[in-house]
Structure 1
Amino acid sequence: MENQKGSYYIPKDKCYATYILFYALGVVTLITSNFFTTATDYWMYKFRDPASFQDYNDGNKTSMQAEFTSDFSIISTVGNMASISFTTHFLMKKLSIVKRIIGALCGVIAIFILTCIFAKVNTDSWQRAFFILTLIKGFALTGFCGCFMVTVFQLAVKFPPRYMITLFSGQSICGVLAALVQIFALGVTENPTTRGLIYFLMGMFFVFLTLVGFLISTRRSRFFQHHSAKIVEAKRPKMSKEIVVSVLQKNKFYLGSLFIVLGSSIMLHPGVTTLVLSVDKGNGNKWNDVFFGPVISFLFYYLFDYIGRECGITLKKPSNEIVIFVISCCRIALVPMILLCNAQPREHLSVTFNNDYAYIIFIILFAFSNGYIVNLCITHVRRVTSDEEKPIAMFFVLILMLLSVAVCSATSRILINAL
Structure 2
Amino acid sequence: MATSSPKDRYFAVWMIFFMLGLGTLLPWNFFMTATMYFQSRLKEPLSTEVSANQSKEAGDNHSILEAKFNNMMTLCAMLPLLLCSCLNSFLHSLIPQRLRVMGSLFIILFVFIITAVLVKVPLKPLPFFSITVVKIIINNSFGAVLQGSLFGMAGLLPTSYTTPIMSGQGLAGTFAAFAMICAIASGSELEDAAFGYFIVACVVVFLSILSYILLPKLIWVLAFSVCFTFTVTIGTFPAITADTQSTLAEGGSWEVYFIPVSCFLLFNLCDWTGRSLTAVCMWPGRDSLVLPVSIVARVLFIPLFMLCNVQPRLHLPVFFQHDGFFIAFIVLFAFSNGYLASLCMCYGPKNVLPHEAETAGAIMAFFLALGLASGAAVSFLFRALV
Q: 1:110 to 1:198 in 2, by over 3 A?
A: same
What are the equivalent positions in structure 2 for 1:335-346 lying under 5 Å apart?
Answer: none
Instruction: Provide the C-alpha distance between the structure 2 equivalents of 1:196 and 1:79, rounded to a whole number of angstroms.
Output: 25
Partner amino acid for 1:131?
F
Residue equivalent to 1:67 = 68
Instruction: Provide the C-alpha distance between the structure 1 equivalents of 2:197 and 2:219, rounded to a whole number of angstroms.
Output: 31
After TM superposition, the structure 1 stretch with the greater mean CA deviation from structure 2, 8-17 or 68-77, is 8-17
Instruction: Provide the C-alpha distance between the structure 2 equivalents of 1:52 and 1:215, rounded to a whole number of angstroms.
Output: 53
Instruction: Provide the C-alpha distance between the structure 2 equivalents of 1:52 and 1:203, rounded to a whole number of angstroms.
Output: 36
- Displacement after TM superposition at 1:179 (Å): 0.9
Encode CA deviations 1:28-80: one digit per residue, 9 max, x unaligned. Answer: 11122200111132112111233389xxxxxxx93323321221111011111
What are the equivalent positions in structure 2 for 1:363-382 lying under 5 Å apart?
Answer: none
Residue equivalent to 2:111 = 111
What are the equivalent positions in structure 2 for 1:310-325 lying under 5 Å apart?
Answer: none
Residue equivalent to 2:203 = 205
1:18 corresponds to which of 13, 21, 31: 13
Instruction: Provide the C-alpha distance between the structure 1 equivalents of 2:11 and 2:82, rounded to a whole number of angstroms.
Output: 33
- SS of the residue corresponding to residue 200 of structure 1 reads helix
1:152 and 2:150 are equivalent in the alignment: yes
- Displacement after TM superposition at 1:22 (Å): 1.4
Partner amino acid for 2:21?
G
Maintained 8 Å contact 1:100/1:147:
yes
1:31 and 2:26 are equivalent in the alignment: yes
Residue equivalent to 2:245 = none
Maintained 8 Å contact 2:28/2:139:
no
- Displacement after TM superposition at 1:19 (Å): 1.0
Structure 1 residues without counterparts, runs of 5 or longer: 1-5, 54-60, 223-419
Maintained 8 Å contact 1:42/1:195:
no
Encode CA deviations 1:241-289: one digit per residue, 9 max, x unaligned. Answer: xxxxxxxxxxxxxxxxxxxxxxxxxxxxxxxxxxxxxxxxxxxxxxxxx
1:85 and 2:83 are equivalent in the alignment: no
- Displacement after TM superposition at 1:155 (Å): 1.0
Instruction: Provide the C-alpha distance between the structure 1 equivalents of 2:126 and 2:100, rounded to a whole number of angstroms.
Output: 34
- Displacement after TM superposition at 1:221 (Å): 6.5
- Displacement after TM superposition at 1:171 (Å): 1.3
- Displacement after TM superposition at 1:175 (Å): 0.9
What are the equivalent positions in structure 2 for 1:234-245 lying under 5 Å apart?
Answer: none
Partner amino acid for 2:65?
M
Instruction: Provide the C-alpha distance between the structure 2 equivalents of 1:150 and 1:93, rounded to a whole number of angstroms.
Output: 12
What are the equivalent positions in structure 2 for 1:251-400 lying under 5 Å apart?
Answer: none
- Displacement after TM superposition at 1:156 (Å): 1.2
What are the equivalent positions in structure 2 for 1:39-50 lying under 5 Å apart?
Answer: 39-50=34-45
Maintained 8 Å contact 1:18/1:217:
yes
Residue equivalent to 2:175 = 177
Structure 2 residues without counterparts, runs of 5 or longer: 49-61, 221-386
Instruction: Provide the C-alpha distance between the structure 2 equivalents of 1:185 and 1:151, rounded to a whole number of angstroms.
Output: 32
Aligned residue pair count: 207
Instruction: Provide the C-alpha distance between the structure 2 equivalents of 1:89 and 1:122, rounded to a whole number of angstroms.
Output: 42
Maintained 8 Å contact 1:100/1:151:
yes
Instruction: Provide the C-alpha distance between the structure 2 equivalents of 1:176 and 1:207, rounded to a whole number of angstroms.
Output: 16
- SS of the residue corresponding to residue 216 of structure 2 reads helix
Maintained 8 Å contact 1:119/1:196:
yes
Q: Which has the larger radius of gyration?
A: 2
Q: 1:43 to 1:52 in 2, by over 3 A?
A: farther
Instruction: Provide the C-alpha distance between the structure 1 equivalents of 2:196 and 2:175, rounded to a whole number of angstroms.
Output: 13
Residue equivalent to 2:185 = 187
Instruction: Provide the C-alpha distance between the structure 2 equivalents of 1:43 and 1:132, rounded to a whole number of angstroms.
Output: 12
TM-score, normalized by length of structure 1?
A: 0.46
Instruction: Provide the C-alpha distance between the structure 1 equivalents of 2:9 and 2:43, rounded to a whole number of angstroms.
Output: 51
Residue equivalent to 1:133 = 131
- Displacement after TM superposition at 1:20 (Å): 1.2
TM-score, normalized by length of structure 2?
A: 0.50
Residue equivalent to 2:121 = 121
Residue equivalent to 1:100 = 100
Q: 1:42 to 1:215 in 2, by over 3 A?
A: same
Instruction: Provide the C-alpha distance between the structure 1 equivalents of 2:193 and 2:156, rounded to a whole number of angstroms.
Output: 40
Instruction: Provide the C-alpha distance between the structure 2 equivalents of 1:200 and 1:131, rounded to a whole number of angstroms.
Output: 17
Partner amino acid for 1:120?
K
- Displacement after TM superposition at 1:98 (Å): 2.0
- SS of the residue corresponding to residue 190 of structure 1 reads coil
- SS of the residue corresponding to residue 121 of structure 1 reads coil
Instruction: Provide the C-alpha distance between the structure 2 equivalents of 1:220 and 1:15, rounded to a whole number of angstroms.
Output: 10
